[in-house]
Chain A
Amino acid sequence: MGSAKLAIAPAVPLSLPAGGAKAPPAWVGGALRWLLRLGSLLACVALWELAAAKRLDLGLVTFAHVPPPSEVGPAIWKLVNSPKFFNHVNSSLLRVFSGFLAAAVAGVALGLIIGRSRAAEDAVLPPLEALRPIPAVSWIPLAILMFPSSELSMIFITFIGALFPVLLNTIHGVHAVDGRLVAAARSLGAGRLATLREVILPGAAPSIVTGLTIGMGTSWFCLVTAEMIAGQFGIGYYTWESYTLQNYADIVVGMVFIGLFGMASSAALRRLGTLAMPWYRLREKQS
Chain B
Amino acid sequence: MSANEAVQGHIDIRRLDIHFGRGAARFQAVSDVNITVPGGQFVCLLGPSGCGKSTVLGALAGHLAPSRGELLLDGAPISGPHPERGLVFQHHTLFPWKRVLDNVAFGLKMKGLARAERETKARELLHLMGLEGFERHYPAQLSGGMQQRVEIARSLINRPRVLLMDEPFGALDAQTRLLMQELLLDVWTRVRTTVLFVTHDIDEALFLADRILVMSARPGRIIEDLAVDFPRPRDALLTTTEDFNRLKRHCMDLLHHDRGERVLERLSPIGDGGAASVSFAV
Contacts and interface: CB of A to CB of B under 8 A. Distances in A.
B106 A198 contact: yes
A283 B92 CA distance: 14
Interface of B: 61-63, 80-83, 85-87, 89, 91, 93, 95-98, 106-107, 109-111, 138, 140-141, 154-155, 158, 268-270, 273-278, 282
A194 B81 CA distance: 14
B275 A183 contact: yes
20 contacts: A118-B276, A177-B275, A178-B93, A180-B89, A180-B91, A181-B93, A183-B93, A183-B269, A184-B87, A184-B89, A185-B106, A186-B63, A188-B110, A189-B83, A189-B107, A198-B95, A198-B106, A202-B95, A202-B97, A203-B97
Contacts of A30: none
A178 B94 CA distance: 11
Contacts, number: 94
Q: Is the interface of B mostly helix, strand, loop or mixed?
A: loop
Contact of B154 (A188, A190, A282, A286): A188
Interface string A262-287: 00000000000000011110110110
Q: Is the interface of A mostly helix, strand, loop or mixed?
A: helix
Given A180-B89, A183-B278, A286 B83 contact: no
Contact of B81 (A178, A187, A285): A187
Contacts of A5: none
A279 B136 CA distance: 11
A39 interface: no
Given A188-B154, A198-B106, A179 B97 contact: no
B81 A279 contact: no
Nearest to B277: A179
Given A186-B278, A189-B82, A194-B110, A279 B97 contact: yes
A135 interface: no
B203 to A, nearest CB: 27
